[in-house]
Amino acid sequence: MSQYHPLTEAEAIEIARTINEVFPTGEELVSKEIGDGNLNLVFHITQPATGASLIVKQALPYAKVVGESWPLSLDRARIESEALVKQGELAPGLAPRVYKTDNELALTIMEDLSDHVIMRKGLIEGGVYPKFAEHISEFIARTLFFTSDLGMNQQEKKRLVESFINPDLCKITEDLIFEDPYYDSPNNNIEAHLRDAAEAIWADEELKLEVAFLREKFLTNAQALLHGDLHTGSIFVTPDSTKVIDPEFAYYGPMGFDIGAVFANLLLNYASQEHWSADEAARRDRRAYLLNTIRDIWTLFEAKFRKLWNEHGADRVFRAPGYQDSYLSRLLQDTVGFAGAKTVRRIYGLSHVADIDSIPDAGARERAQRLALSIGTSLIKHNRKAVSIEDLLDIASAAVAK
């Protein structure tokens, strides 16, 4: 079976049966393919007699997006699997357990998280996740710090950079986030009523200069092993638990890209609150919850990151007075900029978000879209001037007040 081919359900069951720690007994296994079929096969394997279960995820050798199909390296399955293992080691309990990896078959067998909900869906349904800021700040602080030159052996770090070279997946980000939205590209997915807003962005030279700086950082700044796609669709939650999944975009890049991704997706949900037209107070409360979550994440992240640095800093040169403060300042600025770029592209780029696209009322959807574009472009333009997380929150608040 070891030569690559897309698995049948029978084969997925056969492989799942080898995971003794989940299925120590021989009762029947049942498979259900639950992937969206665009990038991966995802088999949910259960043992009805015991209630035990796991996930078999297999990469497909192509990507299908809006009907197009292009080849995509199967090496991404190795990268995803190695990133999951690394993240699980560095942030225990915050990534799914990996039971087995098979690089030849491009598959990872891992913990079943079907008792969790995808956070994007949870937020759309009005869910509240009181542990989320604590958990995600822990995840980003520990995975970023301990894979960076600040927190690990700097020669071993270079070997990690080598194993996480990820051209195919980085190309998707470079195109869809740092290029297409700023040109009249056929990859964009622009609703007719937003064309004027897109055209205004294409003509905005100040904005495009800042996008060039952000693109440069994404291309060259090998700070830490990133998740690379840390939106709310890559996070499973319950009120008590957070699990970060799907790190197939993992590579060595600028830390602010991961933090900015979390903030952008909370801001997209913030913008989507336009559809609650019936109850202004509830809408205001929901938005306050989202902004407070962003503030909490940054505040907790910064405190944890500084503590890790002070306790586990691997480099005495980086103890120079003022350096840590400068590092965190620049990281905040990167975070603000990347949050902006990740917000803009979700409104009229190739790939949108359900938070906004699922708003049934056309007027409310358009208001949400324009609000998100206003926040996103303001963050991009402000990024190198940001001095505090309050700058980001003020931009979000001011955009609503307009």
Question: Does 113 count as an annotated binding residue?
Answer: yes
162 or 280: CB nearest a second copy = 162
Residue 299 is which amino acid? T
- Report yes or no: 168 and 72 within 8 Å, Cβ to Cβ: yes
Name the one range near a second copy by CB under 8 A: 91-99, 139-147, 311-319, 340-348.
311-319
Q: Binding of a second copy at residue 302 (CB under 8 A)?
A: no
Give me the least distance between CB of 252 and a second copy, in Å please: 8
Question: Measuring CA to CA, which residue among 260, 265, 215 is closest to residue 237?
Answer: 265
Q: Binding of a second copy at residue 9 (CB under 8 A)?
A: no
Question: Does 361 count as an annotated binding residue?
Answer: no
Q: Binding of a second copy at residue 65 (CB under 8 A)?
A: no
- Report yes or no: 118 and 124 within 8 Å, Cβ to Cβ: no
- Contacts to a second copy from residues 163-182, by CB under 8 A: 165-168, 170-171, 174, 178-179, 182
Give me the least distance between CB of 342 and a second copy, in Å please: 16
Longest dimension (CA), the chain: 64
CA angle in degrees (0–180, nearest 5) for 210-211-213: 65
Sort residue 337 into left (φ over 0), alpha (ψ -120 to 50) or beta: alpha
Member of 203, 322, 360, 385 binding a second copy (CB under 8 A)? 322
* Mask for 206-225, x = binds a second copy (CB under 8 A): --xx-xxx-xx--xxxxx--
* Mask for 112-151, x = binds a second copy (CB under 8 A): -------------------------------------x--
Residue 354 burial (C-beta neighbours within 10 Å; 0-12, 13-18, 19+): middle
How far is the CA of 34 from the CAs of 9, 43, 59, 74, 274, in angstroms? 11, 6, 13, 20, 32
* Alpha-carbon dihedral sign for residues 229, 231, 234, 240: positive
Question: Measuring CA to CA, which residue among 301, 304, 311, 313 is closest to residue 149?
Answer: 313
Name the one range near a second copy by CB under 8 A: 20-28, 117-125, 158-166, 262-270.
158-166
Q: Binding of a second copy at residue 384 (CB under 8 A)?
A: no
Give me the least distance between CB of 327 and a second copy, in Å please: 8
Residues in contact with a second copy by the rule CB under 8 A: 149, 154-156, 158-159, 161-162, 165-168, 170-171, 174, 178-179, 182-183, 205, 208-209, 211-213, 215-216, 219-223, 315-318, 320-323, 326-327
